[in-house]
Amino acid sequence: MFLFLLIGYPYNPINNPIRLDTTYALETVYRINVGGDDISPKSDTGMFRTWIKDDQYLYGAADGQLAYDYGLQVKYTPMVPAYTAPDLVYRTARFMGFDSRINLNFNLSWFFPVETGFLYLVRLHFCELDRNMTKINKKVFSIYMNNDMNNETAQPQADVIGWSGGQGVPVYKDYVVMIPQGKNGIQDLWLDLHPSTETRPQYYQSFLNGVEIFRLNYYGGNLAVPNNPQLQYHEGPLVNSSSISSSTISSKKRLAKIIGGSAGGLVMAFIIVCSLAFWIRVANERAKKKNKSPFRYFTMKEIKAATNNFDEGRIIGTGGFGVVYKGYIDGETTTVAVKRSNKAQGHNEFQSEIKTLSLLRHQNVVSLMGYCSDEQEMILVYEYMPKGTLFEHLHFSDEQQKMPLSWNQRLHICIGAAQGLCYLHTGMKFQIVHRDVKTSNILLDENWVAKIADFGLSKIDPTNGSTKVMGSIGYIDPEYCRLLKLTDKSDVYSFGVVLLEVLSAKFVVNYNCNDNEENEDAVSFVEWALNCYEKGDLENLIDPHLEGKITPASLAKFMEITQKCLAEQGLDRPSISQVLWSLELALELQIHGNSEDRKVISGNSDLTLGVEFSEIMMPIGR
């Protein structure tokens, strides 16, 4: 039986496959569950293998995001039978993130210290977890292998759906890499994945589920020392075996024993030295990764230079958290937002925001660039968002002489914010609950893309235990206040308040009212708004700037999901992914409402539809 593999070095992997037969031996060096936890032999497929997580072998801060679908029914095939790898390997993965612009500028990379002078078989395991990914040429990426100085293209255009035939179907690819003899005996075998630009895929993305690495050598050789099966070494002249005398044979036997004993000792010493070098290298790499921060550290001198010594003319935002300044760094080539936190915010919230943002990379989550803790200050440096906050555009557009947001713009912004929350709730190994979702924490970039910001109150991996209630007045989930139990549905409630604020452009809390004055809007904005909708009092509910510009179907779908978000019990609220789908549908109904639905909502009209709502619903692909 022969096995044909692609060799990564020094041959062209496409045009020069090599043949491996039963004269080759394999020794397991690494067996990695990428993006998942350790898998014990008892949890394997009956092969009693141990799979370890990939954290210690990742390179750099840009180490990708975790994906998992523990409910996925892995569809094994005759080509990839069930014993190939356990379900847990194929149900977890590591991917690059959601921002194509970022993905094109870095590799998803791992390094594996190995002994030099050997061929290594590298088996890569893939399984598409995205249940909406069913067609080829959606994700295409390149695979590079060898070392950081001489990476070779192992696969120029990897398309997992094209290989496997569908979502949830596992597939693996084998490659052979030669690690040349080196002075130190240990060298890193690098694995890099990078989005392909040649085929112009829909998503510039790459991912991986598992890796196995085997040391490969000729069966007649010794896996303990380098041995190239294609080369045979001879010392002295070749002689005919019949001319050798018995005394010569005896002498050679004695000499062979001496040489054998010496060689055995040298081999053992070699193994010990290589093992020590290997573990020292691994320990050093772990220490480097542990001490390496994913963010830049700014000195107070740099912060003061960036903000012109905290010039009041640079202030772009204020609040209970502190003051935000517009700043310039790197020779004024990069614009940033510098948040100088109040001392009252507390060191814990400061550390929490840094910790949370170190885990995140998404196009709808604001990026933290660095921080400063000099002189007992707590300063965070973010990417600059030139369009400001959603709160400002809803409430101060007239004062700032800016055009009010259109209904389409508002829906797009809500969709972007929902995508950011969906990433926090479901896009990583540990769920993150933001705990302070509000319009002032939804920022807008130059292209009006919404990004979730301010993670000082966020909670990573919340449990069912009691927790201190934190958030902003008017947006906090009443059930959270009552039961002291935090879940992702608390964010959903707060987002429902945001949706009402987007529609009405009214303040959730009116801080200008007198204490002795009864103000229904201030006391219970949610109750007031839902009551207006139920009574058909749209003139008071809807922002006057939107009068005559919302189709009935779009408003009906928007309010349907908003009401569900604001349900009293968290169990009755939708997930944020369901909210996202409904908002996308509301936008489609606004843009492509059918002919019976051309009538639009005005402030003094009744909410009546020309056709049944079910007749104008349409499936929306995400």
Residue range 185-196, pLDDT digits in tens: 788 898 989 888
What would the mean pLDDT of 374-402 be, rounded to a whole number?
87
214 close to 26: Cβ distance less than 8 angstroms:
yes
∠ CA 575-577-582 to the nearest 5 degrees?
Answer: 100
Query: How does DSSP assign 116-163, residue by residue?
Result: SSEEEEEEEEE----TT--STTSB-EEEEEE-TTS-EEEEEEE-HHHH
Angle at 318 between CA 316 and CA 324, to 5 degrees: 50
Structure tokens at 615: 């007749």
- The amino acid sitting at 328 is Y
Q: What is the pLDDT of residues 454-513, one digit of tens each?
A: 888 888 888 655 578 888 999 999 999 999 899 999 999 999 999 999 999 999 987 554
pLDDT at residue number 109: 86
Three-class DSSP category at 532? helix
Lowest mean pLDDT among 102-111, 435-444, 535-544: 102-111
**pLDDT over 50 at 450, yes or no:** yes
Which residues, in sequence order, are CB contacts of 479 under 8 Å at separation 6+?
Answer: 485, 489, 490, 493, 568, 569, 570
Helix or strand holding residue 594 (H, E):
none
304 three-state secondary structure:
helix
Confidence of residue 302 (pLDDT cuts 50, 70, 90): very high
Q: Which amino acid is present at 147?
A: N
Around Cβ 315, how many Cβ atoms within 10 Å?
Answer: 14
Structure confidence at residue 351 as a pLDDT band (50, 70, 90): confident
Higher pLDDT, 135 or 617: 135
β-sheet with 65-68: strand ranges across? 65-68, 92-95, 207-208
For 309-333, write each residue's pLDDT tens digit.
Answer: 999 999 988 866 789 999 999 888 8
pLDDT at 246: 34
Q: Which pLDDT band, with edges at 50, 70 and 90, does 219 fall under?
A: very low
DSSP state of 466: B
Q: What pLDDT is recorded for position 415?
A: 96
Is the pLDDT assigned to residue 368 strictly greater than 80?
A: yes
Do strands 322-329 and 315-319 pair parallel, antiparallel, or not at all (unpaired)?
A: antiparallel
Instruction: Return the minimum-mean-pLDDT range out of 97-111, 129-143, 546-560.
Output: 97-111
**Strand-pair category, 186-195 with 141-146:** antiparallel
Q: How confident is the model at residue 105 (pLDDT cuts 50, 70, 90)?
A: confident
Peptide bond into 201 cis (omega under 30): no
Residue 448 has pLDDT above 80, yes or no: yes
pLDDT-derived band at 417 (thresholds 50, 70, 90) equals very high
pLDDT of residue 20: 61
More confident residue, 201 or 464: 201
| Residue 578, pLDDT score | 94
Write down the pLDDT at residue 279: 53
Task: Give 218's strand partners.
Answer: 24
- Helix H or strand E segment including 94: strand 92-95
Higher pLDDT, 250 or 319: 319
Mean residue pLDDT across the chain: 78
Confidence of residue 388 (pLDDT cuts 50, 70, 90): very high
Q: What is the pLDDT of residues 397-416, one digit of tens each?
A: 776 667 899 999 999 999 99
Tokens of 63: 């180490």
- The residues facing 381 across adjacent strands are 338, 370
Residue 317 and residue 391: Cα distance in Å, rounded?
Answer: 11
Q: How big is the CA angle at 76 (ends 74 and 81), to the nearest 5 degrees? A: 135
Indicate whether 544 pLDDT > 90: yes
Query: Phi, psi at residue 81, to the nearest 5°?
Result: -70, 170
Q: What is the structure's pLDDT at 224?
A: 46
Strands 368-372 and 442-444 turn out to be: unpaired
pLDDT of residue 119: 86
Please state, in angstroms and rounded to a whole number, the distance separating the CA atoms of residues 347 and 382. 18
Per mean pLDDT, which range of 8-12, 559-563, 595-599 is the poorest? 8-12
96-125 mean pLDDT: 85
Q: What is the DSSP letter of 69?
A: -
User: Do residues 479 and 566 touch, judged by C-beta distance below 8 A?
Assistant: no
Mean pLDDT, rounded, for 125-139: 89
Confidence band of 360 (pLDDT split at 50, 70, 90): confident
Query: Of the candidates 477, 466, 474, 497, which has an alpha carbon nearest to the alpha carbon of residue 435?
Result: 477
pLDDT at 602 over 90: no
Whether the per-residue pLDDT at 244 is higher than 50: the answer is: no
Residue 280: pLDDT over 90? no
The catalytic residues are 436
72-76 average pLDDT score: 91
Percent of the chain at pLDDT exceeding 90: 43
Phi first, then psi: give them for residue 315, nearest 5 degrees. -70, 130
Higher pLDDT, 602 or 146: 146
Nearest Cα neighbor of 502 from 389, 363, 596 is 389
